[in-house]
Amino acid sequence: MKIRKSIPFLVIALYIALILFSPASYINRPKFLFLSIARYPLHLVNQVFYNFNYLIHSKKLIKEHASLRKTVDILTQQLVGYKEIETENSRLRKMLEFKERSPLKFKAAGIIGRDSSNLSDTIMIDQGTSAGVKKETVVVAEAGLIGHVIEASSGISRVMLITDANSRVSAVVSRSRQMGVVYGTSTAVCELRYLSLDADVKPGDEVMTSGFSQIYPKGLLIGAVIKVEKEPTGLSLIALLKPSVDISATEEVLCIE
């Protein structure tokens, strides 16, 4: 009975073997017919295995991509941190070199707040009376004059910038020794006023503190002339100055002791 049930399978197996291994000249047509029929299920099976393998590898690639992306983000953050440290070190190095060159004594401070409006142009620094910083203390950077302290508490001080509309600085043109007073305008430029109509002042001239002041010592760089024009009455000249210190890009200052 078992032999009878096995006969059809044996016949089919024998037929397949005959088709596959017989010479082509004898059974080309049956062999071709079999292969034509078998091609589609074989192709389907191949596609199933291919897609299954692709899904497995895709999951692995997705995990690897996520891991690499996380690593890239960490390295990017570290690089940004290193660049920030390098920039800070460069600023502090320049400030230290300036302190060593200058005969003046300084107290370093950091800018912790800014107030630039139509009413005032000031900054807050993290040093106060406990560190010897008091009202009228002059504040500079390695590039030049910033302003002076107008309010001081134990650990914080407010500094009026030379661009403030209430700021006045006695000044001299370095090249020609022309005297004047630098006024703040609450803008990015200052005005050197009270210049005679024949004053020898031209764009590019550097303007320094003259020392004729109860607050500012002599020889601090204020800025450079960018334009010379007549004042509205036509009786004198006004020189527009670009301050030497870009306060918007400054984070540390020096207070003259």
Q: Any idea where the domains of the chain sit in the sequence?
A: 28-101, 107-161, 168-245
Instruction: Give the pTM.
Output: 0.65
What pLDDT is attached to residue 13?
A: 60
At which residue do the structure tokens 């508490």 appear?
A: 153
Domains 107-161 and 168-245 share a fold: yes
Task: Tell me the average confidence (pLDDT) per consecutive run of 10 residues in the chain, 257 residues long.
Answer: 51 55 53 55 59 65 73 71 64 66 84 80 94 95 94 95 96 96 95 95 96 92 96 92 92 91
Cα–Cα distance, 159 to 140 (Å, whole number): 10
Residue 189, token pair as written in the block: 């430029």
Homologous superfamily of 168-245 in CATH?
Rod shape-determining protein MreC, domain 2 (2.40.10.350)
What pLDDT is attached to residue 16?
A: 59
What pLDDT is attached to residue 24?
A: 53
**Burial profile 37-73: b = 16 or more Cβ within 10 angstroms, e = fewer:** eeeeeeeeeeeeeeeeeeeeeeeeeeeeeeeeeeeee
What pLDDT is attached to residue 80?
A: 65
CATH class, domain 107-161, is mainly beta
Residue 197, token pair as written in the block: 């109509």
What pLDDT is attached to residue 40?
A: 58
Which of 167, 169, 181, 85 lies closest to 123 in space, CA to CA?
167
Q: Which amino acid, residue 96?
A: L
Which residues lie below 8 Å from residue 255, measured CB to CB, with a gap of 6+? 106, 107, 108, 109, 125, 127, 133, 137, 138, 139, 149, 157
